[in-house]
Each structure stands twice: as C-alpha cells, then as structure tokens.
Structure 1
Amino acid sequence: MLPLPSAQQLRYLIALSELRHFGRAAAACAVTQSTLSAGIMALERQLDATLLDRTVGKKVVFTPLGHEIALRARQALLALEAVPQIAAAARTPLTGPMRLGIIPTIGPFLIPQAVTTVREHFPRLSLSITEDTTEHLLEKLSLGQLDMLVLAMPCLCDGTETHPLWQDPFHVIMPPGHPLAALQAVPVEQLSAQSMVLMEDGHCLREQTLAICRQGPSRNGSEGESDATFTAMSLHSMAEMVELGLGIAIMPAMAIDGGILQGRRIVSKPLTGAPASRTIGLAWRPRSPRASDFRALADTLGTLARPQTPQTTKKTG
C-alpha cells in the first residue's frame, strides 16, 4: 500500500497554494516557516514528485503536477474533516462553530436580526461572520473556509446547494426633481436611457442592475448598455451620489427598510417589470455533513422576512 500524506501535510500544501508565500502560509498553519518548508519537502519525497518549481527564485510557483495535487488535497481534506463533523452533527445538531459569509448589500441590514435570532433559537451555535463579495465568498466556501453563505440570487453559484429565503424587491432612488420622481412606479424599460450609479465590479447588485437596464433600448442605441459614470463601493456611497444628482440607482427594499435613506433628499419608487427583485438565499457545499443544520437555519432565517415564493432547496452545478 502506498503511504498516505498526513492531514498536516495537506494543510501545509493548501495554505501555500492559496497564499503563495512561505511565511504567510506558515503563520496561517501556526508553525514556523522552516517547519512548513520541511513538511512540503517531506511530502515531495513521499510522493516522489516535484510539487514546486524552485528554479524561479523566491517566488512560490507550483508545477502543473503540484497544482493538481493541491486541488486534490483540498478535496481530500474536506472529506477527512467531514468524518468528525458527521458524528458531531448526529450527536448534537446545531452546536459548535458555524462560519457564515454574507455579501455587503445584505450584511448591514440582516446581520443584527440574524445574530439575535440565531442566539435565541440555537444558543449552542457559535456564529462567526465574514462580509465579502459573492465571488470571494464562493471561493472561500469551496476551500472549506466558510460553511454557509447568504447571497443575492440569481448569481453564479455553480457547485453549491442553494435554498431561497425570500424576495427582496428593487426600488429606484433619485433626487426629488428627477422626471421619474413623478411616477407611482418605474417600469424597467425606463432605466435603459438613464445615467445610473452602479456598485463597483465584484458586487452582484451591479450585474443585476445592468441586466435590468438591458430591458429596453438605450439613448445611444446600443442595446444592453447604460450611461454609468459613477461607481460606489457601498450602498451608503451610492445613496450619497444619488443625492448629489450624479445619477439614479437601483436600491434593494431591504436597505431602504433598514433606514439607509433616512435624512436624505432622495425619492424612492418601486421598480416594476421583470426582473424587479432579487432572491435572498443560502448556499453551502453539496453533500455537506451539516446540511440538516443549514436547512434548519434556513427555516429560522426565513422568518425574518415574509417569503413571496415557495421555498425549495436545489443543487446547482
């Protein structure tokens, strides 16, 4: 039988492949740099394979084989860590640490309620929260650094199991004197010719806004493009730009209900047509040993807003 790498060796290799720096990888593994380096070399001898290209100086460059083995190492370590998780979940469900990722256009408006609700219903669950963009959260989920995500869908969530919670309608925000402010509601077709304030690249709300703006012809005759001069890093920055008259923007109802427009000279009108809302939902790795815990959390978090559509769990990818 071939000798198997240890879990510690796999952790060293994964940390180095993620961080591409011996010192930072060692710190992430709570060992010295020499210990991590020796562990990688021992793994290479054990496998009789060259995992790192050491002809490029101080840069950490994986060989094609090393890259493939690092990918397999992540899968193997996740499977190994799932063994005690399955046993623990069977003994005492909804206990222990739970690492939750959440996107910035949801986090500030959901976290206070979510934390309070989880503490009330699951007092033995230790919740930690990371806020980041959808792309980065999905990467951390795939690497086993997070257990569950709160996302806005539709999104590119391939390779996850998702559970919708509720619909979050979109509103259009604008200065009081804007021509659209006289309408009771704004049809999506009206947005394609408007100057829009968008979230910066990496935020799903940017892509959702651009998709909505493609519902009609633009003023320059180029289908699918809107005039967007200003980009915001947060919904608060977006509201400031709109108040200054730099453009109009699409704002989730969740943020408006959370008071983001209070004290501002901004008019908010419902958006009508399709798509005029986003779906707040959860995502986790398929076949996770804690899937039953995630579904129980989904049922509880779903009470924080009134669901508009039947709730079903589905796998994507």
Structure 2
Amino acid sequence: MNFRDLEYLIALEELKHFRKAAEKCFVSQPTLSGQIRKLEDELNVQLMERSSRKVIFTQAGLDIVAKAKTILLEARSLKEIAKSHNEPMQGTLHIGLIPTVAPYLLPLIIPTIKKHFPELELYLHENQTHVLLKQLEQGELDCLMLAVLPEMESFQQYKLYDEPLELALAETHRWAKKSSIDLNKLRGEHLLMLEDGHCLRDQAMGFCFAAGAIEDNSFKATSLETLRHMISAENGLTLLPQLAIPANRHQAGIKYIPFKEPVPSREVGLICRRNSVRKVCFEQLSNLISKTVETKLDCY
C-alpha cells in the first residue's frame, strides 16, 4: 500500500467511475483498476461493488476512504512543516479564489507577489465558495481569498481589505449624473443579481432588500461581466465591488456611483485551516496584499 493507491481510491469514490478517476489521476484505467484490486487483496476486504454502469462503495470502503483522506492530509502536513521551517516563502502554494474576486484582484497582486516572493510558486483555482471550502478542508488547497462570511469562523482568517459596493447603471439612466447616492433610493427599484451560489449575490441582496429594492427574477447572471453587459444595454441596476470598477467610473455606456454613508461593503480575507503550518507564509502574503489593494482603492 502506498499514498498513490489511496489517491486512486479517493478519486474513484468521488467520481464513481473508473475511467474518470483514472483521468483525474493521470493513469490508465487498467492501472487504476489493478491497484484498487491489489489494495482490496492487501486489506482482505471488498471496497466496492462493480458493474458496467456504476460503482457502489461498501461501508468498509467508505470507512477506508475517510481514513485515507486523513492520512493523505497528514502526509501533506509533514511536507509543509519541513517547508515552513526551511523557508516559509518558498515552494508551491495552491490558492482558491471566488469568481467575483479573482479577475480583479489577481492582476493587481500577482506582479507584486512575484517581485517580493520570487521563490513562491502559485497555483490558482477559481470556483464558488462552497466548493473552495470543501477543497480547503480536504487539503487540496492551502488557502482561499474570498468574501468572509460568518460560517467561516472555524478557519484561521487574515483580513485583506474592505471593499465598497457601488451602483452600476446605464449612462442614460435618470441618476447617471449623480456623484453619490443614498442606498434607500433603491426602494422599489428592480436590481439584477448573480445566480445562486455566489456569496456576493447574498451580500448584495442583503443590502438591497434592507433598502426596499426588488430582485429582477427575469435574469440571473453567471458573472459580473455578464451583469455589466446587461446594464450597458439599459436592462436595470446592479451592485458591483469596487475593484471591478474602472477608476474613471465610466465604461461602455455604464456609470458607477458610490453610495453615501452607510456604504454597503464586503470584507475580503485570506483563510486557511487552523492547524496549517504555513501561517508565517499567509501572514506575510496577506500583509503584502493588504498594502497593495489599499493603494489601489485610494485611487477611487
């Protein structure tokens, strides 16, 4: 038995399909199938029921998969411990980011990170919050950069920045010439929102509903860029985070208007597992990102 066999087993339990599991592990299907058979022989237990259509894990198989995940996570921790003692800002780092942060934050911080920490090799993964949290818990990712939510209290958190939300509307809208606007002005207005699964959707809806705004259920966007195109086509109003807004507040027929106090905003942070041994790395990284973003937000 070796770590690779456990990785095969975990992939198979996740995907319930030998070919897909083999592709994920970058091996041939016969290789993966043969190693799983050897593992069953070594453990003297049937791990799954096989058929031409699906793979059903036995209870013993499920119990062993759960333990295998723990073993692999601890094995990675051993490497991280050695790495953190030798040089905290060297080696690989797998970072997860949400879609409403990644396209706007990464171009700003990647050059700075490479300049200050040239020996740090970054692997970036973009996905929705619930997927990233699961990957972080399972040790597939080292840390996340996302909007901080109350249910993340079980993780170690490093604040990166507070990001104001602004009102986006067509330049032909009656409010287009305003320099700022009161959130309560949205009472009765229909707003376009992101689809379910985006944490920004929930945060924006919280502010808008409190002000008496109404969600336009005729359309739900898959991204902020889709929302931007809808607004430019005079299809309503929406809230966008400030880093997604050009500094001149005007772009392709869209005007961006900041809110008066109290300003709706979100906290973006770096989170990791509480028992992570790379906290020195995360502290230095978060400090650098905070300073870089602060300089950018001061330009608005």
Q: What is the TM-score of this pair, normalised by structure 2?
A: 0.88
**Unpaired runs of 5+ in structure 1?**
219-224, 308-317
The share of aligned pairs that are identical, in percent, is: 33
Maintained 8 Å contact 2:193/2:216: no
- Residue type of the partner of 1:200? E
- From 120, 126, 129, the equivalent of 1:134 is 129
Maintained 8 Å contact 2:163/2:243: yes
Q: Secondary structure at the match of 2:257?
A: strand
Deviation at 1:288, TM superposition (A): 1.1
Question: Mean Cα displacement is larger for which, 209-218 or 278-287?
Answer: 209-218
- From 253, 256, 267, the equivalent of 2:242 is 253
Taking a change above 3 Å as real, the CA distance of residues 64 and 196 of structure 1, as seen in their structure-2 partners, is farther
Maintained 8 Å contact 2:250/2:256: no
Q: Secondary structure at the match of 2:159?
A: strand
- From 189, 202, 207, the equivalent of 2:202 is 207
Post-superposition CA distance 1:97-148 (Å, at most 9, x none): 1112222222222212211111111111111212222222222222322212
- From 13, 20, 27, the equivalent of 2:9 is 13
1:116 and 2:105 correspond: no
If each structure's helix is expressed as a fraction of its own residues, which one has the higher value?
Answer: 2
Query: For residue 311 of structure 1, what is the aligned residue in structure 2?
Result: none
Q: CA RMSD in A?
A: 2.4
Taking a change above 3 Å as real, the CA distance of residues 65 and 188 of structure 1, as seen in their structure-2 partners, is farther
- From 280, 299, 306, the equivalent of 2:287 is 299
Q: Secondary structure at the match of 2:210?
A: coil
Q: Secondary structure at the match of 1:150?
A: strand
Q: What is the TM-score of this pair, normalised by structure 1?
A: 0.84
2: CA distance, partners of 1:33 / 1:227: 48
Structure 1 outlier segments of 4+, above 6 Å: none
Maintained 8 Å contact 1:209/1:250: yes
Aligned length: 295
Post-superposition CA distance 1:44-97 (Å, at most 9, x none): 33334332133x543122234423332332122111121122112211221111
Q: Secondary structure at the match of 1:61?
A: strand
Maintained 8 Å contact 1:154/1:278: no
Query: For residue 147 of structure 1, what is the aligned residue in structure 2?
Result: 142
Q: Secondary structure at the match of 1:226?
A: strand
Maintained 8 Å contact 2:193/2:215: no
2: CA distance, partners of 1:16 / 1:303: 43
Deviation at 1:217, TM superposition (A): 4.0
- Residue type of the partner of 2:136? L
Matches within 5 A, 1:1-317: 5-54=1-50, 56-154=51-149, 156-157=151-152, 159-181=154-176, 184-217=179-212, 226-257=215-246, 262-272=250-260, 276-306=264-294
